[in-house]
Structure 1
Amino acid sequence: MIAPQDFLPQIADWVANLDDVFPGSWVKPYFAQWEVVHLLSLALIGGTTLLLNLRLIGFGLNDEPPSAVRRAVLPWLNLGVAGILVTGVLIGTSNPERLYTSEAFTAKMLGLAAALILTYGVSLPAARAEGRLSRGAGLWAALGLAVFGVSLSVFAVANLVNPGLWHLVIAAALLVLFVTRGRMRIAYLLGLLGLMTTQVAIHHVIYRPDDYANLDPANKAMIGMYLAWILAAAAIQIVRDGSASGRSVAVKALAYAGILVWVVTAAAGRWIAFA
């Protein structure tokens, strides 16, 4: 078990009373409204980090230097981050026991920490330096990727929520499809279609839809195959673009991570309702 209750059992009584005192008792009647603000803040983060990191990858607002994109998105990014932190704390105090017993909440908090590290420690400084990675940013990148890896590990083994990893797979697949070009895009798309066809056959031809004993390991194997294909295509594209533009291959790879870490954070939050 990897829910907060498993490594912080001593605060169980405090958590149980949180929704009976301010601000939990005040927020609870308006939970839905605060949740809407939380989701809007997350959408704001999604848009700004996409614009920023796609520019670092070499797509999107290519007519503007990375530093200009950074200046444009930074106020909105800060607003979104402030929004999710404030509303997240308030929502948490109104529904504390659900979060305290949720393994998905652990994955979300680790993902959020990694997302903040990679965004503020890597993507923003790299954009300010016009796509160059400083030594300090490199250290933040190592820390952020390590925390991101732990978040993914928790997500992968958490009971009832590991199917949420498909959110990451789909987001990564679409992201790489967007940034690849020419014959590479066609080959990559054909590979994805082949994997999708295989998955449909597994679910509806090889095994029955309710044959979970066989479908569970098959789905895990399919996730591995998808990720291998996606990572291979991304690596080829990163190296090609890096060689052509002279920009750091590491910055481009970290920009991918800077997008996907927010996807994992959002997906883990979605699955809190299940475990």
Structure 2
Amino acid sequence: MKINNELIFEINGEKVTHDIVYNWEYKRMIAVHKTLAKMEGVKFSPYFDKWVKEKNIDAMRSEILRIKIQLGIEKMRSELKAKTKLANIISKFSNVLSNKRKFSITEIVVPNTNLTPKELLDRIIEIMMVNNDKHLEINLNTNPDHYVLQEVSDDVQEVLETTGGSPLPTHFFAHYNDEEKLVSTFDPKFEVQAPGTARLEDGTIIGGVRHQVGRDKDVLRFRALVEFPAVLPNYMIKEHQLHLACEFGHWISAAIDDNNFKS
């Protein structure tokens, strides 16, 4: 699973190379390897350390996916429960401290595609929200920090992941088409959007998203936007920009690959 070479990443108005995105992914794979290796019954390939030294990202990514699939969502959720419980307490406290939000934004330019903005967004949402084996593998593989991404009811996605810069994984539920307490607004230069709130299991809103897609001359432009409590340090917001580049770089690549949508 590779990011399409033609995609162009932009953060804070500056282009970001694929090497920077892959280097971020590489560092996170090392961290996730340590987390997964502590789980009961996990046995990584004896070649993993060799792949780390060689910076063989493709091999590392495939092996981490193999372990996640082997463990299964329920097992990973159980193994990480203590950490997510603590992270969720911190998230709830952070939300109480301030009603203001900080935005983590990454934009991705998508050239040479016949897809419309709506078709691209619909395909991404289909991968994220329609539960099947193919989508499970894609969703776990788009970012090393993904442990659970699955639809649990209409427009509601269960997410267990480590957000950029966080020392702990968070367990929350993304409620799409729910704009309660969102601070961001739809930018009219885009055509379609996927807004949503991020809620803990008890319904507490801890943030939100407003992903948007539009045309920019002869290319498509995707804006990934996540709202965080304003008390979070700026370095976490910046790290999450690379988190977004990694996951949406892979998601968009999967979405423009027609092989993922052939029956």
Q: Name which one, 1 or 2, has greater alpha-carbon Rg.
A: 1
Structure with the higher strand share, 1 or 2: 2
Identify which of structures 1 and 2 has the higher relative contact order when contacts are C-alpha pairs closer than 8 Å and 6+ apart. 1
Structure with the higher helix share, 1 or 2: 1
TM over 0.5: no
TM-score using structure 1 length = 0.26
TM-score using structure 2 length = 0.27
